[in-house]
Structure 1
Amino acid sequence: MDRASGTEGGDDSSILIPLHEVRRERLALPVTFQRRELDQILRLYGRMVAANEWRDYAIDHLSDRAVFSVFRRTSETPLFRITKNPSLARRQGTWSVTSATGLILKRGHELARVLSVFDNKLRLVDA
């Protein structure tokens, strides 16, 4: 046995990696949307574009959260922000929808339920 490498015959196929290094690398990765999540969000976005309410979007992958921002015009502030924040998963829920003023419209654990806030739209009815 080769004492310098710790394996027989100098085979380097088994390498010991400290767990704290793996955790540090994992924490350095930004939070992203998974394919199914992005599919649900883009389906909603397509409906709202067809209704001529939304015109542009931006996706931000930050170290602590992922944000899908919706704009009426590119030069304006976002009308809504759909946020995925995994650190809130056990408490208020991973997902939230925030208005342009910063008011949290809906928060929860399931994306479909949080996006349902856009289904219940108030409309003006002629009396």
Structure 2
Amino acid sequence: MTDLPDVPRRAAHGSEHDRASVVDLREYRQSRDPLPITFHRRELDAILWIYGLMVGEGEWKDYAIDHLKEKAVFSVFKRAGELPLYRIEKNPKLADKQGAFSVVATNGQILKRGHDLKQVLKVFDRKIKLVE
């Protein structure tokens, strides 16, 4: 038996890629598979406050929360089996540009976008009425 490694050594003039290096497993996993984007507690409080008001008015009946790699989505439904009436989205990639938060209608139209979630949620304060 010898103290030599089982892997044969490369040429003495080898590059830095030939040397073994220690890698922190947590950092490696995070770089390979980043954690999903989530809503923070205060953001969820603001969203659920509006949701509670709208449920009390009979407008909304159900919701779903999706935490994806690129964004977090709070979807609001009139009935559980339908498409969402609205999606409240948090996309950190847009934080420096148009704002991380947005409210999106069923047809994909962005109703309001901004940096402050409470300001974005004010879109639900006014009632949208059909004008004939």
Q: Which runs of 5+ in 2 are unaligned?
A: 1-21
What's the Cα RMSD here?
A: 2.3
1:46-99 per-position Cα deviation (integer Å, ceiling 9, x unaligned): 000000000000000000000000000001000000000001000010000000
Give the SS at the match of 2:127: coil
Q: Which residue of 2 aligns with 1:43?
A: 49
Shift of 1:122: 3.2
Give how far 1:18 is off: 8.8
* Matches of 1:18 and 1:100, distance apart in 2: 42
1:30 to 5, 26, 36: 36
Aligned residue in 2 for 1:56: 62
1:75-94 equivalence runs, <5 A: 75-94=81-100
What count of residue pairs does the alignment treat as equivalent? 110
Fraction of identical pairs, as percent: 55
Does 2:125 align with 1:119?
yes
Change (3 A) 1:76 1:19: closer
Q: Which runs of 5+ in 1 are unaligned?
A: 1-14
Which structure has the larger Rg? 2
**Post-superposition CA distance 1:11-40 (Å, at most 9, x none):** xxxx97499637616x61000010110010
C-alpha separation in 2, matches of 1:20 and 1:48: 42
Which residue of structure 2 lines up, in the alignment, with residue 97 of structure 1? 103
1:4 aligned partner: none
